Amino acid sequence: MSFLPFGRAQPSSAEKIAAAETEMEMIAEMMNRLNQSCVKKCVPPEYREGDLNKGESVCLDRCVSKFFDVQMKVSEKMQGDAAMRQGQGQGV
């Protein structure tokens, strides 16, 4: 707890655990979407070999890279929009 009138109270242990659980769920969901979209796009449904061939590996590498690039851009845009709304709400 902060003694300053404009400071925020520190989150409790239960709040920290809930936030960590939420973050883990979000990461798991993102990984599932990544796996579904990239494997569907890059790996044929019939397996010919036990390992990925070069084309599949390159495709997966590029797909994962693009997926994370888009995730970062969307995240930055959402954070910017939230900051702008917060600034407007405070009358800045």
Q: How large is the average pLDDT for residues 38-63?
A: 92
Q: Which residues contact 21 (CB under 8 A, 6 or more apart)?
A: none
Q: Return the pLDDT at 85.
A: 87
Other beta carbons within 10 angstroms of residue 71's beta carbon come to 13
Mean pLDDT check: name the lowest of 27-31, 66-70, 77-81, 86-90. Answer: 86-90
pLDDT over 90 (residue 12): no
Q: Could you tell me how many residues make up the chain?
A: 92
Give residue 40's pLDDT.
Answer: 93
**Whole-number Å distance between alpha carbons of 34 and 7:** 39
Axis-axis angle for helices 54-89, 13-42 (nearest 10): 140
Distance CA 19, CA 31 (A): 18
pLDDT-based confidence at 9, cuts 50/70/90? Answer: low
pLDDT: is 66 or 49 the higher one? 66
22 pLDDT higher than 80: yes
Distance CA 29, CA 46 (A): 26
Summarize pLDDT for 77-90 with one digit per residue, the tens: 999 998 888 888 76
